[in-house]
């Protein structure tokens, strides 16, 4: 579509944003066409051959997509006057210019982890490396400010010294050093006449200051975002506070893009009733451009598996009819039962956020054990013996006579080989169970075998991820029929892959920026959402984001054993269907 045609279809608020030539805050509600507005404004600005424009996004893919959309409207001849990228990529280029054209070496995630492990060891700090990473990131987001004399300061100084000794900076240093350089005059801001920033509500203090430095240097800045969709407080996103600060600091004109072109009125109305319960927010009226015609329904189910079956059946029917569909959950682990149901029914799906629980080693271990039980495989005993606590040296002793280790051995023989008494008992207990399971399998009592294997594996571990993987694998296999060889062949078929006809399974956080014809939000329960680790206002914004992913059909559900999420009650959905 040509630029003239795009401008012709913009609504008055979008056109106001395009035409403004002063600092501007565009508050874009879900589905407001903000990317089209940014692209149109940038193309109009580039029509002046003397103008340079910067466009900033939060991800590389988004930057590439935005650049392509802009150039499609403005023409390829303008590409030299357009610089589109992420905050970090643009900051990194600034560092290269400061150092005479050679950008500093950036530490990989592996480098960072290795350095922090060494620093923790040197300092005698008994911290998890994940906690150390989070502490360092928080300090850098706060411009390197940290309480003097604290353990965090000691860790931070040690880590920074280690980076310097190795001639590296890390990912966050890119932005921190660029901001510091602009503030002390050693780095020049980009000579943008205009700067446009997408997803402004997600900016942290460092990113905000990078923008502010360019505004102070003379760039006219347009930021686009929605405080109601600020869901990254755990990453120090400023959200509503950042938007208020931008308006005050730069006397920015605020324009609300209130038309939602995605959701029917029924869905948008439910979302509006939810988000209005947050106090600190920019007032806005949501307008459903598509009008009525959507469907919103809330259901209660006996348990999470009954809920998963209902979601799968409803959404896969829509997918077969050419519609897009997604199951959304507060966390990735809550999607495990839905994946189990999809696997056992042979439904094509794609787990778009986080790894499949069926890829964990416990799933492979259960499959391996069932193959040994059915005698379709004679290898893999070592993995099972390791699982029960027999170490590598003892495994070598067991192999010293070249035996396959699938037969029972006398306790005396095992002790003479050099096994400890505990390991000898574990070995004999496993082999005893293997004989019992094989006897049941020969009689085709597959369900009894599967239940026995499941109970045995659950008894061997207290790790929550391992127990979840074991349970999910059991749930899939128990819903299939026939000998284990047939069930395992079915289980191992790769139906977890991105495809136009795949049912999407993803988290509320990962759903941001996406949309589907039909959306089903599972486990809408008080014990799940809001999550007690986050603030209620941020959890409400997250739920609002999830609800507004649906174009035509929104389903919410829960297991009866738990109380209903207060956000469902706020949406006015407490009196609908019970199943």
The structural architecture, per CATH, of the domain 287-355+497-571 is: 3-Layer(aba) Sandwich (3.40)
> Angle at Cα 381 formed by Cα 380 and Cα 385, nearest 5°?
130
* pLDDT of 545: 97
The answer to whether 33 is a known ligand-binding residue is yes
Confidence of residue 410 (pLDDT cuts 50, 70, 90): confident
Question: Binding residue per annotation — 31?
Answer: yes
406 pLDDT band, cuts 50/70/90, is low
Residue 32 annotated as part of some ligand binding site:
yes
pLDDT > 80? residue 471: yes
Query: Which residues lie across from 259 on neighbouring strands?
Result: 287
Six-digit token string for 270: 């439910």
Show Cβ contacts of residue 381 under 8 Å, excluding neighbours closer than 6 positions.
Answer: 372, 404, 405, 406
Give the mean pLDDT of the chain.
90
Q: Which of 195-199, 334-338, 421-425 has the highest mean pLDDT?
A: 195-199
pLDDT higher than 80, residue 312: yes
Instruction: Calculate mean pLDDT across residues 72-87.
Output: 93
Distances (CA, A) of 331 to 7, 194, 338, 355, 549: 40, 39, 13, 12, 16
Task: Answer whether 289's CB lies under 8 Å from 568's CB.
Answer: no
How many other β-carbons are positioned within 10 Å of the β-carbon of residue 148? Answer: 6
Give the tens place of pLDDT for each residue, 92-117: 999 887 655 567 788 888 888 999 99
Pairing state of beta strands 194-197 and 168-169?
Answer: unpaired
Q: Which of 28-42, 244-258, 274-288, 372-386 has the lowest mean pLDDT?
A: 372-386
pLDDT, average across residues 132-144: 89
Residue 34 labelled as part of a binding site:
yes
**Same fold? 3-99+179-261, 287-355+497-571:** yes
* pLDDT (tens digit per residue) in 50-72: 999 999 998 888 899 999 999 99
Q: Which of 266-270, 326-330, 484-488 has the lowest mean pLDDT?
A: 484-488
Mean pLDDT of 307-312: 95
Domain boundaries, the chain: 3-99+179-261, 108-169, 287-355+497-571, 359-492
pLDDT band for 579, please (50, 70, 90 cuts). very low
Write down the H helix ranges in 79-128. Answer: 87-98, 109-123
- 530 annotated ligand-binding residue: no
| Angle ∠(449,451,456) on CA atoms, nearest 5 | 95
Rounded to whole angstroms, how far apart are CA atoms 542 and 558? 17
Tens-digit pLDDT profile for residues 518-535: 999 999 999 899 999 999
pLDDT, tens digit (0-9, with 9 covering 90-100), for 147-177: 888 999 999 999 999 998 888 898 889 999 9
Residue that the structure tokens 């409400």 belong to: 540
Work out the pLDDT band at 399, boundaries 50, 70, 90: confident
Residue positions counted in the chain = 579
Domain 3-99+179-261 classification at class level: alpha beta
Name the residue with tokens 């240093």. Answer: 173
H-helix or E-strand spanning residue 299: strand 295-301
Here the tokens at position 145 are: 């400010």
User: pLDDT by residue (tens digit) across 198-214?
Assistant: 999 999 999 999 999 99
| pLDDT bucket at 262, cuts 50 / 70 / 90 | very high
């Amino acid at each position: 579509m040509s630029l003239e045609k795009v401008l012709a279809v913009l609504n008055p608020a979008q056109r106001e944003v395009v035409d403004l030539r002063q600092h501007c805050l565009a508050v874009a509600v879900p589905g407001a066409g903000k990317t089209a507005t940014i692209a149109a404004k940038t193309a109009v600005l580039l029509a002046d051959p003397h103008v340079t424009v910067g466009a900033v996004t939060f991800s590389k893919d988004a930057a590439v997509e935005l650049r392509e959309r802009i150039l499609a409207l403005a023409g390829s001849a303008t590409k030299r006057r357009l610089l589109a990228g992420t905050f970090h990529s643009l900051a990194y280029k600034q560092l290269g210019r400061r150092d005479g054209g050679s950008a500093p070496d950036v530490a990989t995630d592996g480098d960072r982890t290795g350095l922090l492990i060494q620093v923790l060891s040197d300092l005698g700090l008994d911290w998890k490396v994940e906690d150390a990473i989070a502490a360092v990131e928080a300090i850098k987001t706060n411009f390197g400010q940290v309480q003097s004399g604290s353990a965090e300061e000691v860790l931070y100084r040690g880590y920074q010294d280690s980076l310097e000794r190795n001639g590296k900076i890390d990912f966050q240093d890119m932005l921190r050093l660029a901001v510091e350089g602009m503030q002390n005059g050693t780095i020049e801001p980009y000579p943008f006449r205009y700067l446009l920033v997408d997803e402004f509500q997600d900016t942290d203090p460092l990113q905000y200051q990078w923008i502010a430095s360019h505004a102070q240097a003379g760039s006219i800045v347009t930021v686009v975002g929605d405080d109601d969709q600020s869901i990254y407080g755990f990453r120090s996103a400023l959200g509503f506070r950042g938007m208020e600060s931008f308006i005050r600091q730069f006397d920015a004109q605020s324009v609300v893009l209130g038309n939602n072109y995605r959701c029917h009125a029924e869905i948008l109305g439910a979302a509006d009733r939810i988000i209005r319960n947050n106090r600190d927010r920019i007032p806005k009226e949501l307008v459903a451009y598509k009008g009525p015609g959507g469907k919103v329904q809330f259901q209660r189910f006996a348990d999470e598996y009954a809920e998963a079956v209902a979601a799968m059946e409803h959404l896969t029917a829509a997918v077969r009819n050419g519609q897009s569909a997604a199951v959304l959950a507060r966390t990735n682990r809550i999607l495990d039962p839905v994946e189990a149901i999809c696997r056992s029914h042979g439904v094509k799906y794609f787990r778009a956020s986080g790894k499949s629980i069926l890829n964990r080693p416990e799933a492979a271990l259960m499959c391996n054990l069932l193959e040994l039980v059915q005698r379709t495989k004679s290898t893999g005993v070592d993995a099972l013996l390791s699982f029960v606590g027999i170490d590598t040296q003892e495994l070598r002793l067991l192999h010293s006579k070249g035996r396959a280790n699938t037969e029972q051995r006398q306790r005396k023989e095992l002790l003479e080989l050099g096994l400890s008494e505990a390991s000898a008992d574990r070995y004999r207990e496993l082999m005893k169970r293997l004989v019992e399971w094989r006897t049941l399998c020969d009689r085709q009592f597959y369900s009894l075998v599967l239940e026995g294997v499941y109970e045995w594996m659950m008894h061997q571990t207290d790790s929550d991820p391992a127990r979840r993987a074991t349970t999910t694998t059991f749930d899939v296999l128990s819903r299939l029929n026939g000998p284990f060889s047939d069930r395992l062949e079915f289980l191992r078929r790769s139906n977890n892959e991105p495809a136009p006809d795949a049912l999407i399974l993803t988290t509320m956080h990962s759903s941001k920026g996406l949309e589907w014809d039909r959306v089903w939000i599972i486990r809408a329960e008080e014990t799940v959402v809001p999550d007690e680790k986050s603030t209620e206002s941020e959890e409400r914004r997250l739920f609002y984001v999830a609800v507004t992913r649906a174009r035509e059909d929104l389903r919410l559900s829960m297991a009866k054993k738990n109380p209903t999420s207060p956000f469902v009650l706020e949406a006015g959905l407490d009196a609908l269907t019970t199943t």
